[in-house]
Every structure is written in structure tokens, then in C-alpha cells.
Chain A
Amino acid sequence: QLQLQESGPGLVKPSETLSLTCTVSGVSISSRSYYWGWIRQPPGKGLEWIGSIYYTGSTYYNPSLKRRVTISVDTSKNQLSLKLSSVTAADTAVYYCARLGDKVPAAIGAFDIWGQGAMVTVSS
């Protein structure tokens, strides 16, 4: 059964780096039809795409976050990771990892499988 599970600290201090890991089970992260992405949702607000990564390591980031974001992939562990530096209270959100279709037969451009999300609070 395909599952994504986010993990990491639920509390991060301002100016520090937020780090999350997404463990993928039930399918290889090295599938050529998919990217893997991070999306966040501040409390009471909408969804914001953070960035996506291909199993080869190619990355694409939201221009508004690009200076602070690093997404990486570890194919041996079937995991992807997110690092967001210099965090502020505005980075408090639920962080989701999800599978993004890129080539047929995938649902191109769609996040079809999501993790349950990890709530991260930025506070001293």
C-alpha cells in the first residue's frame, strides 16, 4: 500500500532551520513518472507549493521560498527531505509531502498521494 509519512520536530525556534523527512512506502521513489513534492498550509489558510524533486535530484522551488529551501532525495532509503532556513512565525504550518505526476501514465501535474502532514510551529 502506497503511503507517505512526514517526520521531524514539531517546534522550531525563529532563525533556525526547519528539517522534515518524508518516508515513502509501497512504491519506489525512483519511479520515472513522478516527482515528489512538499506543500505547506498555515493554520486557517490555503495550500502553498514549496518545491519538488525528481529521483535524479533535479529540483524545482517556489520562487518566493527559493533562497531558503533545500529539497533532497535519498533513493536508498526511499525518502525525501525538506530544509527551510531562517524560519519565522510565518513559516508555522502543516507541511505535507506528496507524489506529483509528471509523465503518462501518471496524472500529470497532480498530487495524487499525500502524507498525513506534519504540524511545525515556529516559536521561541
Chain B
Amino acid sequence: QSVLTQPASVSGSPGQSITISCTETTSDVGGYNYVSWYQQHPGKTPKLMIFGVGNRPSGVSNRFSGSKSGNTASLTISGLQAEDEADYYCSSYASSTTVVFGGGTKLTVL
């Protein structure tokens, strides 16, 4: 099964851009194409922000973007705003229809 590694925390100032990485280690490299990102504010339900590596669901700000290079997926938030302060989780949908979540990254807006 895949293991997804995220940094424990990242921070940035309002208006800046930040990137959160999500590195996959597994023997099933070919299955790391369905990467999703979720935002979770304290005490709230996770919200889907990015799916299929770089696609945004309807209603999600275009300040959020996703990409992938090799075994590392990334979530970039541009024009950082105070409301972006939250926990962010990546996930991978691998073969055999299994799902793995990364450990989560706490984003602090300074």
C-alpha cells in the first residue's frame, strides 16, 4: 500500500504563495495519478479542493492549483488569505480501489 508523506507545517504571509508537497512511496507508481487535496478547518468537515492531480471542483477558488512531478504531488495556494489557514490532506486512489491519505499539513497564515 502507498505511503503519502506531507510536511507537518507550512506558513506564509497574506498575498504570498505557498506549496504543500505530497510524496508517494510505493511499488505501484503507475497508480499515483488520482491525487486529491482536502482542506479542513478546525472542527469542520474536510472539503475537496483538487482532484485528478490538478482539477478544481466547481466553486473552489482558482487560487488553488495542483500538479505532480514523478512521485510528488503539490498543492499551491496563491494570494494567500487568512481564511486559507487550515489543515490540508492529500490522498491517492490507487489500484484495487484503495485510498490512502497523507498525514496532513497545517497551514499558518502569518
23 A-B pairs in the complex with CB atoms less than 8 angstroms apart:
A39-B101, A46-B101, A47-B38, A47-B104, A49-B100, A49-B101, A60-B96, A60-B97, A96-B45, A96-B46, A100-B93, A107-B48, A108-B52, A109-B34, A109-B52, A109-B93, A109-B99, A110-B34, A110-B48, A110-B57, A110-B91, A111-B48, A116-B45
Contact A111 B45, beta carbon cutoff 8 Å = no
| Extra 18 A-B pairs, beta carbons < 8 Å, given A107-B36, A109-B34 | A46-B87, A46-B103, A48-B101, A49-B91, A49-B98, A52-B97, A60-B98, A62-B98, A107-B52, A108-B34, A109-B92, A110-B91, A111-B99, A112-B51, A112-B57, A114-B45, A114-B46, A115-B45
Q: Which 10 A-B pairs have the closest CB atoms?
A: A109-B93, A109-B34, A110-B51, A107-B51, A49-B99, A110-B36, A46-B104, A47-B101, A60-B97, A114-B45
